């Protein structure tokens, strides 16, 4: 069976229906049984202007990273699409409107900047759409029709997803959109009859009906709801805002509520307040907002109050690069804030994990009475994947809080020093367990106490609790495990997919390379990570940050220095960059 690994981009101006077209490609190919990973980029702050680009990587095997080279470019706006040409693969297919409303000077034309091997498919998108539907709005669908015809996609896949997308708007809308698609499809079949490819037509894939097309943000929102979230407190910030918007739409029907707070400080304050009162709540933010939260996060650590904070990382520092992706809040997430304030930090690596980790974060927060930080990033939040997603099982919404025994009624010690470090936690309203939660250093009872013995003892208790939490935290997963490795690559977060692909390719080239996926950032499984490092001749940690923040965290686990690959391009690390670094290291070894 021939393999498909095909990347298609749609590029246009806001208003061209670019994002919709990209979404339809993802859905159609997903229905066709392909693995799909999609990522849109558009100017998040200023809607109505600027360039929109969708990137969909479509594979017959599982796709774990973004496509590096574009095999097909669908241009809904040629001037904007000019920026896409550097990433075109050799012999890429380029679909463009061959009958634009006005003549285009060469300096603005897309075709004048294509690489020589590009195969151009001019289709009068607008004119065909007008013919099919009476308006040129459907030109994005006409373009999809052309794409489907030339690449050999079963048109019924597109017709189905177009129907699904527009059915809420009535039969007429469905009809004109299908007609627009068909117009492009038939035009291209006929016009390019001698240039048709069968890229997708000959592939047989097992379609898994359980596969759903989801973005990281949607998975996060769904998980929060499935976890029984009642309150979301947040302040708008790219790229976390879609989580708030998702919940604002779906939480009310579950009896929950989204409160847009005045800032991130109040957001985390309210989250702590509501968890203190026994109600699951969360907030999502990005670097700048996270920075504002740190004091109260350490308050959660000290007062032992659960909280769930999702940090959707973007480019930093300060306001930085709001619409770009980066993994540079790791230090802040693990260490940010005053004092010895260890808290739980976990980082999903794909959309499916976004779902499971968010559910898990509520449980961990409750059980260990501490803020749990879920680190995602722009890329992970916004990319879409079609993975089989197991929705929450029964009981995911059940509290993991450890309640005090009735026996302690009336002589309850809120911060009792137990072997696990977990002090059973009462909730307001419980008779006979009144206490004051405080961020001052306190005794087991909860009274302020700054004595050296007490601070030492309580610091130890809090950290013991965190160490104990490790047993509930996902262990690092080793891929292509073996006893000795020439290069061991450690990846985390959205970057891990690129690591996996790079390692797999290097292995196909015959190299002894392995990968370790670290999702528990703090506390971390030092023994597993250390053992992996020890058995690797070289250890490579690719990250989307300048400082090598995960590398810094784990470097001490082995005596040899860690090799780093740091990208601060604002875009995902291409697998090929990791692969060449691996092979460069191997060259050094040889």
Partner 1 sequence: MKTPARVLADQVNQIQKSGRFSPRSASLPTWCPGCGYFGIHQGLNDCISSLGIPLTQIVTVSGIGCAGRYPFFSKTYGLHTVHGRALPAATGVKLGNPNLTVFAVGGDGDGLAIGGGHLPHIARRNIDVNYLLFDNSIYGLTKGQPSPSSPMGTKTKASPYGTIDKPLNATLMALAYGASFVARLFAGDPKGITEALIEGIRNPGFSIFHIYTTCVTFDKNFKTWAHLKKWTHALPQDYDPTDLGRAFNEVLKDDFSLGVIFKRDA
Partner 2 sequence: MSMKRFVIIGNGPAANHAAKALRENSSESRITIFSKDPFRSYRAHLLPDFIAGLIKEEDLYNSSYAHYNEMDINLRLGQRVVSVDFSKRNVILDHKEVVPFDGLIVATGGKPRLPEQFQLFQDIMLTLKTPLDARMWVEKLSNVDSVLIIGGDLTSLSLTKALLKLHKRVKFILNDDAFWPVPLNEEIYRAVTGRLEQRGVEIVHCRRIRRITQLEENLLEVETDREILETGVLGAFFGLVPDVGFLARTGLDIDRGILVDEFLKTRFANVYAAGDCAQVYHPALRDYWVSIGHENATALGRIAALNLAGSHFEVQVKPESILEVGGVKINTSWWTEF
CB–CB of 56/38 below 8 Å?
A: yes
Sign of CA dihedral 542, 337, 473, 258: negative
Question: Closer to partner 1 at the Cβ: 93 or 270?
Answer: 270
Tell whether residue 273 is a contact of partner 1 (CB under 8 A). Answer: yes
246 phi/psi in degrees, rounded to 5: -60, -50
- CB within 8 Å of 112: residues ≥ 6 apart: 106
Give 206: exposed, middle or buried? Use CB within 10 Å, 0-12, 13-18, 19+.
exposed
Selected binder of partner 1 within 129, 231, 345, 389 (CB under 8 A): 231
Q: With respect to partner 2, which residue has the nearer C-beta, 129 or 178?
A: 129
Specify the residue, 44 or 104, whose C-beta has the smaller distance to partner 2. 104
Q: Burial of 584 by CB count in 10 Å (0-12 exposed, 13-18 middle, 19+ buried)?
A: middle
Q: Which among 6-14, 16-24, 101-109, 263-271 is the span making contact with partner 1, rule CB under 8 A?
A: 263-271
Which CB atom, from 75 or from 266, has the smaller least distance to partner 2?
75
Per DSSP bridges, beta strands 257-260 and 231-234 are parallel
Task: Assess 198 for contact with partner 2 (CB under 8 A).
Answer: no
User: Which residue lies nearer to partner 2 by CB, 105 or 255?
Assistant: 105
Q: 21 and 53 in contact (C-beta within 8 Å)? A: no
State which residue, 159 or 230, has the beta carbon closest to partner 1.
230
Beta carbon of residue 121, minimum distance to partner 2 (angstroms, whole number): 8
Among residue numbers 440 through 469, which ones bind partner 1 (CB under 8 A)? 440, 447-448
As measured in angstroms, the least distance from the Cβ of 410 to partner 1 is 6
Choosing from 252, 428, 556, 560, the residue that interacts with partner 1 (CB under 8 A) is 428
Cβ pair 32, 59 in contact under 8 A: no
Q: Does 398 bind partner 1 (CB under 8 A)?
A: no
Residue 267 sits in the site that holds partner 1 (CB under 8 A): yes
Burial 78-96 (b: 16+ CB within 10 A, else e): bbbbbebbebbbeebbbbb
How many chain residues touch partner 1 (CB under 8 A)? 45
Nearest-CA neighbor of 89 among 65, 73, 113? 73
Minimum distance from residue 113 beta carbon to partner 1 (Å): 50
Sequence-distant (6+) residues with CB within 8 A of 293 are 264, 265, 267, 268, 283, 285, 309
Smallest distance from the beta carbon of 172 to partner 2, in angstroms?
Answer: 32
Q: Which residues partner with 302 through β-bridges?
A: none
Q: Answer with the entry of partner 2, partner 1, none that 261 interacts with (C-beta below 5 to 8 A by kind).
A: partner 1
Query: In the bound complex, what is the minimum distance in angstroms from residue 122's beta carbon to partner 2?
Result: 5
| Per-residue x/- track, 56-75, partner 2 (CB under 8 A) | --------------------
- Distance (Å, whole) CA 521 – CA 375: 9
- Residues of span 92-151 touching partner 2 by CB under 8 A: 96-100, 102-106, 109, 111-112, 114-120, 122
* Angle between helical axes of 155-166 and 139-151 (0-180°, round to 10): 150
- What is the C-alpha to C-alpha distance for residues 267 and 447, in angstroms, rounded to an integer? 27
CB of 329 to partner 1, least distance (A): 21
Nearer to partner 2, 199 or 372 (CB): 199
Binding flag, residue 281, partner 1 (CB under 8 A): yes
DSSP 475: P
Residues that bind partner 1 (CB under 8 A): 230-231, 233, 257, 259, 261-263, 265-279, 281, 295-296, 299, 303, 410, 427-440, 447-448
Residues that bind partner 2 (CB under 8 A): 90, 96-100, 102-106, 109, 111-112, 114-120, 122, 194-195
């Amino acid at each position: 069976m021939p393999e498909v690994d095909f990347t298609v981009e749609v590029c246009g101006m806001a208003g061209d229906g670019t994002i919709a077209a990209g979404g339809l490609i993802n859905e159609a190919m997903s229905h066709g049984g392909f693995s799909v990973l999609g990522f849109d980029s558009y100017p998040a702050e200023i809607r109505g202007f600027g360039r929109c680009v969708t990137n969909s990587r479509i594979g017959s095997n599982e796709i774990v990273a973004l496509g590096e080279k574009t095999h097909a470019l669908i241009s809904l706006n040629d001037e904007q699409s000019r920026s896409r040409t550097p990433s075109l693969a050799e012999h890429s297919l380029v679909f463009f409107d061959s009958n634009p409303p006005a003549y285009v000077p060469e300096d603005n034309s897309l075709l004048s900047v294509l690489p020589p091997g590009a195969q151009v498919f001019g289709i009068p998108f607008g004119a065909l759409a007008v013919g099919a539907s009476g308006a040129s709005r459907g030109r994005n669908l006409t373009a999809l029709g052309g794409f489907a015809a030339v690449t050999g996609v079963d048109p019924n896949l597109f017709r189905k997803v177009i129907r699904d997308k527009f059915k809420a708007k009535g039969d007429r809308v469905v009809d004109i959109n299908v007609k627009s698609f068909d117009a492009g499809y038939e035009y291209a079949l006929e016009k390019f009859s001698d240039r048709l490819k069968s890229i997708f037509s000959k592939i047989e894939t097992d379609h898994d009906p359980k596969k759903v097309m989801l973005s990281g943000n949607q998975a996060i929102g769904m998980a929060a709801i499935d976890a029984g979230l009642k309150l979301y407190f947040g302040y708008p910030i790219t790229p976390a805002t879609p989580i708030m918007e998702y919940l604002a739409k779906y939480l009310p029907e579950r009896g929950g509520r989204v409160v847009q707070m005045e800032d991130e400080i109040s957001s985390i304050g309210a989250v702590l307040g509501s968890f203190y009162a026994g109600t699951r709540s969360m907030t999502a933010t990005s670097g700048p907002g996270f920075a504002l939260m740190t004091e109260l996060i350490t308050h959660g650590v000290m007062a032992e109050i659960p909280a769930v904070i999702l940090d959707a990382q973007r480019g930093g520092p300060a306001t930085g690069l709001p619409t770009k992706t980066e993994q540079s809040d790791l230090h802040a997430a693990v260490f940010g804030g005053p004092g010895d304030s260890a808290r739980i930090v976990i980082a999903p690596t794909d959309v499916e994990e976004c779902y499971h980790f968010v559910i898990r974060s509520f449980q961990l927060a409750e059980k260990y009475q501490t803020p749990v930080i879920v680190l995602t990033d722009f890329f992970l939040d916004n990319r879409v994947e079609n993975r089989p997603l197991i929705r929450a099982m029964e009981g995911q919404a059940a509290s993991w809080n450890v309640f005090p025994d009735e026996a302690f009624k009336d002589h309850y010690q809120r911060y009792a020093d137990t072997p696990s470090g977990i002090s059973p936690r009462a909730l307001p309203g419980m008779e006979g367990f009144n206490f004051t939660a405080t961020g001052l250093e306190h005794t087991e009872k909860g009274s302020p106490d700054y004595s050296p013995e007490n601070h030492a003892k309580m610091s130890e208790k809090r950290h013991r609790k965190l160490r104990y939490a490790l047993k509930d935290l996902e262990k690092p997963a080793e891929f292509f495990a073996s006893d000795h490795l020439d290069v061991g690559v450690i990846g985390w977060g959205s970057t891990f997919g690129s690591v996996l692909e790079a390692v797999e390719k290097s292995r196909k080239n015959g190299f002894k390379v392995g990968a370790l996926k670290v999702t528990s950032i703090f506390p971390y499984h030092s023994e597993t990570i250390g053992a992996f490092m020890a058995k690797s001749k070289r250890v490579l940690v690719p990250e989307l940050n300048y400082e090598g923040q995960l590398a810094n965290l784990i470097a001490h686990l082995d005596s040899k220095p860690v090799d780093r690959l740091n990208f601060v391009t604002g875009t995902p690390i291409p697998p090929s960059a990791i692969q060449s670094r691996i092979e460069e290291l191997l060259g050094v070894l040889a």
